[in-house]
Amino acid sequence: MEKEVLSRGGQVPQKAPRQPDSEELKRILEELQRRLDLFNKQLKIEIDRELDIPVVKIVDKETNEVIRQIPPEYLLKLMKNIDQMLGLLVNERV
């Protein structure tokens, strides 16, 4: 099933980019990790349990320091706070 995406102007539908299959995704991730190994870095992909979204981290192998995270920690906290506030609003209305 193909998806269509509206252009910025909202006028002309365009085909959504093709999603990679699991084998292609595995190959891409292995290549990315191979390149990160050159810089002593590691790719970590986790699922945030509260938000049920993937969190991608680049971590220094020696210090275990998070070099880069997508989405960033402050954004995860913001999303969790918004979920909490929406939950409170729904509870007050019921």
**pLDDT per residue over 40-76, tens digit each?**
999 999 999 999 999 999 999 999 999 999 999 999 9
Residues above pLDDT 70, as percent of the chain: 82
User: How many Cβ atoms sit within 10 Å of the Cβ of residue 3?
Assistant: 11
Judge whether 26 lies within some domain. yes
Is pLDDT at 93 greater than 80 in this prediction? Answer: no
Judge whether 14 lies within some domain. no
> What total number of domains does the chain contain?
1
Judge whether 68 lies within some domain. yes
Whether 67 and 41 have beta carbons less than 8 Å apart is answered as yes
Judge whether 5 lies within some domain. no
| Domain boundaries, position 75 | 20-93
pLDDT of residue 89: 75
Distances in Å between the Cα of 8 and the Cα atoms of 1, 11, 13 are 23, 8, 10
- ω before 54 within 30° of 0 (cis)? no
pLDDT of residue 11: 66
**pLDDT: which is higher, 53 or 10:** 53
Judge whether 8 lies within some domain. no
